[in-house]
Structure 1
Amino acid sequence: MAQPRNFSFASAIAGALALCLLLIIAAAAVVYGGLFPVAASSEDGAAVRSLLIEAREHSVERSAAGLTAPSFTAEDVRLGGSHFKGMCQACHGGPGAEPEEFAAGMNPRPPNLAKAAGDLTVAQVFWIAKNGIRMTGMPDFGKTDEDEELWKVAAFVKQLQKVTAADYAALPNAHEHEEADEEAGHHHDHH
């Protein structure tokens, strides 16, 4: 009768190290061999997409955990809507307003914020607007806009589900007004 092989801790370690080395070699072949598809026209597989969404959600939740939203007046929310038109509508659309044509070519495609922001807190929306989301096309507006403005945009985003197309259409585009002032030689600080 054959004797059972004794478990060897050293052989288990050697096997684990060999597996790690094999995974490193495979990852290097994919990365340095140009095998990972980076074209925006390439769709991620379900597992990769799910992993990226989970990573994003947990990162935003953790990063925004220490933020406390200020109080907002109806005027603050309206001003946030005016800035939303200039900052966000091109990619995300708005009530009764479609995103610009180029947004269809973004991968991942920018979400409809009236739906996507439903589970987010105002602080999480603010954090995303301020810091952006890497590898999604969502810019870091914290480099160009003041926190006060971004909080108002976040407050508006949280109200998007209640905004009618007519009310949205009536909002001025704050950024068009600022650009017109700058072109006319009137420099003013909008923050």
Structure 2
Amino acid sequence: MKARFAAILSLLGAGFIAGIGTTIFLELGLYDLSALSPHNELERQLIMFLKNNAIEYQSGDIKAPALNDRERIKKGFALYEVQCKVCHGAPGEPRGRVSTGLNPNPPPLFKADDHWSSGELGWIIQNGLKMAGMPGVGIGQTDDDIWNIVSYVKRMNTLSVAEYKAMKKALKDGVDPPGLEWEFPEEGWKKLKNYSASEGKVLLKKLGCASCHSIPGIKAQNTHAGPSLKEWKNRHFIAGQVANYPKSLVKWLMHPEKIDPTTLMPNLDVTEEQAWKMSAYLMSLEE
């Protein structure tokens, strides 16, 4: 009993001393408010904890409208170019200089659709985020404007540099070039589930892919002629040309020269079924 009482007194004393120390620290103005100084790990973890939980809770009842609509995405593209690109960039285009002075630094939104639901994206764009430099875009905007931006951000998840440039030119000229698709493409994630990642791993080893690439889980004498395939799923582009999703990866594995005529990646006469199995393994590489 005495030991427990002593422990409680010790905790109270430590808390009191910590409180006094914090008060003195803040009163003297010693806390670094400069946006040029990054958050320390404790601050970063606290902000992430608050952000993730608050967004999930406060966006819980939001129902997104149909977003895969040509005109909606085109309008969202135009709004994004004016209001968002300066901080978040675009495929093949860097963020504006003003974004470098923000802390935390605004992230590129190429993979936003992987981390946030449509409702969560709508809430973030509408309300902004404290302690993140993200303004609430909802001021002076209609609900339709917000959802238009969300639709384009989701489309950007699968947008190649070439497609982005074509969209930008189409808006400027007022005419869509042949073959330009504004809607979300069929990415192939559902189909990918029908193929064995373990069989894909065997194929990658059998075809000697690890002799040029470092591939997690496959040991081989590596010449490092090609890039590492570690965390493949987290990449946005394939060979810097097309968005990294299963359907485009299958095309790349079957006919790399058709996607990038200058590539050193050989055509190994891979069948479509083999390419899907290999893609299943590569898309399992997240860490």
* Interval containing the TM-score (normalised by the shorter chain): 0.7 to 0.9
Q: Distance in 1 between matches of 2:12 and 2:42?
A: 26
Q: In angstroms, what is the RMSD of aligned CA positions? A: 2.0
Q: Percent identity?
A: 25
How many residues matched? Answer: 168
Alignment-derived partner of residue 125 in structure 1: 121
Q: Is 2:113–2:157's contact at 8 Å kept on the other side of the alignment?
A: no
- 1:114 is paired with a residue whose SS is coil
Task: Report the alpha carbon displacement of residue 65 of structure 1 after superposing the two structures with TM.
Answer: 1.1
Between 118-127 and 16-25, the greater mean CA deviation after superposition: 16-25
Q: Deviations over 1:46-65 (max 9, x none)?
A: 33223322321221111111
Unaligned runs of 5+ residues in structure 1 are 1-5, 174-191
Find the residue that maps to 1:162 and give its secondary structure.
coil
Give the TM-score normalised by the residue count of structure 2.
0.54
Instruction: Show the counterpart of 1:138.
Output: 134
Other-structure match for 2:33: 38
Corresponding residue of 1:180: none
CA 1:54–1:162: 2 relative to 1, 3 Å:
same
The answer as to whether partners of 1:77 and 1:156 remain within 8 angstroms in 2 is yes
- Indicate how the Cα distance of structure 1 residues 116 and 31 shifts in structure 2: closer, same or farther if over 3 A, else same: farther
Report what 1:166 is aligned to.
165
Q: What is the 5 A alignment of 1:1-191?
A: 7=2, 10-72=5-67, 73-163=69-159, 164-170=163-169, 172=171
Q: CA deviation at 1:121?
A: 0.7
Assess, with a 3 A threshold, how the Cα gap between structure 1 residues 28 and 80 changes in structure 2: closer, same or farther. same
One-letter code aligned to 2:19: I
Comparing 91-100 and 119-128, the one that deviates more: 91-100
Shift of 1:12: 4.0
Greater share of residues in helix: 1
- Report the CA distance shift for 1:78/1:26 in structure 2 as closer, same or farther (over 3 A): same
Unaligned 5+ segments in structure 2 are 173-287
